[in-house]
Amino acid sequence: MRIFGFSLRIIRQLLRDKRTLALMFMAPILILTLLSLIFDSEDYEPKIGYVLSSSQENVLPIPDRWEDYNNDAEATTAIKEGTIDGFINLTEPTNPSIIVEGSDPSINGAVLKEIQTAFTKENRTALSEQVNYLYGHQEMGLFDSFGPILLGFFIFFFVFLVSGVSFLRERTSGTLERLLASPLRIWEMVISYVIGFGIITILQASFISWFSIYILDMMMEGTFVHLLIIIVTLSFSALTLGILLSSFAKNELQMMQFIPIVVVPQIFFSGLFNLDTISDWLSWIGRVTPLYYAADALRDVMIRGLSLSEIALPLLMLLGFSIVFVLLNIAALKKYRKI
C-alpha cells in the first residue's frame, strides 16, 4: 500500500510538470519526423557540366540537362560557385578528363556514375583513369568529409550545455539575484558573463579542434588560425544561446529539455545530409540556425582550404546570431530585476 501511495505521488508530480510531459511525447515525434522527411527524400541528382569542341556537337551522347561550358577555366569557376558538382572535358575524345568538386565522397560518386553511364563501355576505363579533384582527394573518407560538421556540432553542443547549466546555477544559488540588486547594469552583467564563460569555452573549443586535427588526423587543408576563428564565433553563438534559454528553465532537467528541441535538429540541416534532396519548405530551417553557417565555414577551411575573406559571410552570420542572443538576454534578465 505504501508502495502504491509513493508511486502515485511520483505520477502526480510528473503530471504537474507540463514541460516534461510535452518533451517526453513531442521531442521523439519531432526528431523521428525530421529523420523520416530526410531519409525518404529523393536521390541526389548531380549537376554536371561539359566542355566540347564545336566539331563534336550532336555526335557524343551528352544529356540535355548537362551544362555547356567553353573551357576548363569557366567550368572550374562554376564548380567553385556551386553551380555544378563536376564536369567532363571531351575536347580530346581519346583522352577525356573529369573534374569533380571533391569535398563530398557521395556526390563525387554520383557524378562519376552518371558520366560513366552516359558513355559506351569502351570509354569508361579511360574516363575512370582521368579523374581530378578540385578539393580533397580520391582516398578521402567519410570521416574527413563529415569531420568538420561533427566538430562544429560537438563544440556547439557542449558549450551550449555548460553555459546554460552554469548560468542556471547562478540563478538558483541566489548569486544572480544579489547582482541584480547591485548598481551593475543588466547589459554589463550579460557582457561579463559572456566574457567569463567565453574564455573557458574558447580554451575548450581550441583543445577539441587541436585534438581532432593533430591527433585524429582529420583533414585540414586551410590554416589552423582560421579554423580557430570559426570555432570561437560558433562558441559565442552557443554560449549566448545557452545563457538565453537557461533564463526560461527552473532546474537542470528543464535546461536539458532544450537539447532535443534546439540543438539536435540543427545537425540534420548542417550539411550532414544533402539539403538539395530535401523539400524547399523544410530546407529553409537550416538557414536560421548557427550550426548551418559554422559547418559551411568549417568545410570551406578544412576541406577546400579557403581564406578568411572567402568565408566572411558565414562568420558574419554567426556574429549576428551572437549579437541577437545578447540583446535577447538583456531583455530576458529584466524580468528578474525587482528594484
Q: Which helix (H) or strand (E) is 225 found in, with range?
A: helix 224-246
Give me the pLDDT at residue 40, please.
64
Give me the pLDDT at residue 315, please.
93
* Nine cell digits for residue 115: 558520366
239 vs 193: CA distance, rounded Å:
10
Q: Which fold has domain 48-133?
A: D-Maltodextrin-Binding Protein; domain 2 (3.40.190)
First to last CA, the chain: 50
Count helices and strands in the chain by DSSP H and E runs: 14, 5
Give the distance from CA 254 to its chain's centroid. 25
Give me the pLDDT at residue 6, please.
60
224 vs 218: CA distance, rounded Å:
12
Give me the pLDDT at residue 123, please.
55
Tallying the residues shown for the chain, one arrives at 339
User: Are the C-beta atoms of 290 and 269 separated by less than 8 Å?
Assistant: no
Q: Which residue has the cell 547589459?
A: 187
φ, ψ at 103 (rounded to 5°): -80, -15
Task: Kindly report the pTM of this predicted structure.
Answer: 0.80
User: Are the C-beta atoms of 111 and 86 separated by less than 8 Å?
Assistant: yes
CA distances in angstroms from 304 to 79, 111, 261, listed in the order given: 12, 18, 32
Query: For the chain, percent helix, then strand, then coil, each to nearest 5?
Result: 65, 5, 30
Q: What stretch(es) of the chain map to CATH 3.40.190? A: 48-133
pLDDT tens digit at each of 339 positions of the chain: 566 666 676 667 666 767 666 666 777 777 777 767 666 666 778 888 888 876 555 556 678 788 888 888 898 888 888 888 888 887 776 677 888 888 888 888 888 888 877 776 555 555 555 788 888 777 777 778 888 888 888 889 888 888 888 888 877 777 666 766 666 677 777 787 778 777 887 888 888 888 888 888 888 888 888 998 999 899 889 988 988 888 887 777 778 878 888 888 888 888 777 766 676 667 777 788 899 999 999 998 988 888 888 899 999 999 999 999 988 888 877 766 554
Q: Which amino acid is at 22?
A: A
User: Are the C-beta atoms of 323 and 248 separated by less than 8 Å?
Assistant: no
Give me the pLDDT at residue 318, please.
93
234 vs 94: CA distance, rounded Å:
49
* Nine cell digits for residue 329: 538576454
